[in-house]
Each structure stands twice: as C-alpha cells, then as structure tokens.
Chains A and B, each alone.
Chain A
Amino acid sequence: NAGVMQNPRHLVRRRGQEARLRCSPMKGHSHVYWYRQLPEEGLKFMVYLQKENIIDESGMPKERFSAEFPKEGPSILRIQQVVRGDSAAYFCASSTGAGLAGNTIYFGEGSWLTVV
C-alpha cells in the first residue's frame, strides 16, 4: 500500500462541524475509491472517482457527504455537519483502472474520524 497518502490520519470534530479528508493516489494511478469502516464492521464502498469525474457513488449517504477528484490535487471526501455516527475509519484506495489488467487496488493508511 505504499504510495497512497491520506491525511489527516486522525481527526476530531464536534457535532455539526465539517470534516475534510484528503487522498493522493499512488503515482500513475488515476482511479480513486473511498471506503468506510465503521467500528466492529467490515469495509463498505462509498464512491469511485476518476479525475474530474464521479463514476460510481452508489455507496455514498444521500446527504452531507460529497467527494471530488480535481484535475490537480488530491481527492477530497467532505462530510458536512458531522454526527456521532460518522465516526469511522475512512480509507482511500487507488488503482490504474477498472479493466482486467492491472487492477490491484492499493489502500492508504486510513483517516480515523472521531465526532464528539
């Protein structure tokens, strides 16, 4: 998983504040995925992005959550008006593409959000 950079590693927010999580994919990777790991649960897909495009957001909560992957800069997962239930580990992953070849998906070290 070397190369997928996430920050911050740990973030504490009060209820109602905004949380922004950043992800820089591995060099040469143009596809980014965000996953959420709630306490004592497995990882759940949230969103899949390519540069400037959201390809699949079927796992994103309908409200307060948004993601982007601009032409320049990292991908950002934004959570507005956080609630205690948003407390989780958020993992970013990257790959070279969704085709048959070369689609090993590498993960970052995660960002742990705690809402107090």
Chain B
Amino acid sequence: AQKVTQAQTEISVVEKEDVTLDCVYETRDTTYYLFWYKQPPSGELVFLIRRNSFDEQNEISGRYSWNFQKSTSSFNFTITASQVVDSAVYFCALSLHGSGNTGKLIFGQGTTLQVKP
C-alpha cells in the first residue's frame, strides 16, 4: 500500500526563522514521483516541486530547499528565513509510474505553517 505521512499538523514560527516540514512516504514501487504543493489561504494549490525516484540530488530554489533521502523514505522541505507570505498549508504527495499505475497523487494530510511577524 502507498501512503504519505506528514506528522506535523501545525507549525508556528516567527518571521526569519528557518522551518522544516517533514514528509515520509511508503511504497514498494521503484518508480515514483514526489511532489510538494502549497495551499495559501486563498485556497488554490500551487505546485512547488517534483522529484523522481531516481534522482536523490537535493534541490534549492531561492529560500526553498528539499532533501530527498530514499534510505529513510523522506522528502523534507525547508524554508529559510521564513516570511509571513509563506503562511499556508503544505502538502506532500506521491505518484506511482510503474506498469499499471495511472500517476494519481496520494497526498499527506498537510502541514499548516503559520509565520508570525
């Protein structure tokens, strides 16, 4: 069975603090993608990153960075020097792409991040 766990339900930080959002996934497939999406208070889902299972390189995009570790089945997301505009719900998701899979996303429950001024 496939599963994504975001153990942190809510996180509150003060502006300029660094914050890491945890994501642990379960799958027996060897071919899969991992995603992070942001859902700001306005409600839309904003794509942040996609990672395939064969690429364990960490990625940095501005203040955002992602740490993919297959050994621990984790795909953690760090925001450096957080800002109030980062306040949102963040979802980690998994999709399978081996034979017979349709690429549908399996989402974690989400982590609500509140950044206080």
Contact = CB atoms under 8 A, between A and B. Distances in A.
Contact of B102 (A56, A109, A110): A56
Interface residues of B, number: 25
A104 B50 contact: yes
Given A42-B110, A44-B107, A100-B52, A107 B45 contact: yes
Interface stretch (A16-24, A66-74, A75-83, A91-99): A91-99
A31 B93 CA distance: 18
Contacts of A112: 43
Contact of B31 (A31, A100, A107, A108): A100
Interface residues of A, number: 30
Contact of B108 (A42, A48, A98, A106): A42
A63 to B, nearest CB: 21
Interface of A: 1, 31, 33, 35, 41-45, 48, 55-56, 59, 89, 91, 93, 95, 97-100, 103-110, 112
Interface of B: 31, 33, 35, 37, 43-47, 50, 52, 91, 93, 95, 97, 101-110
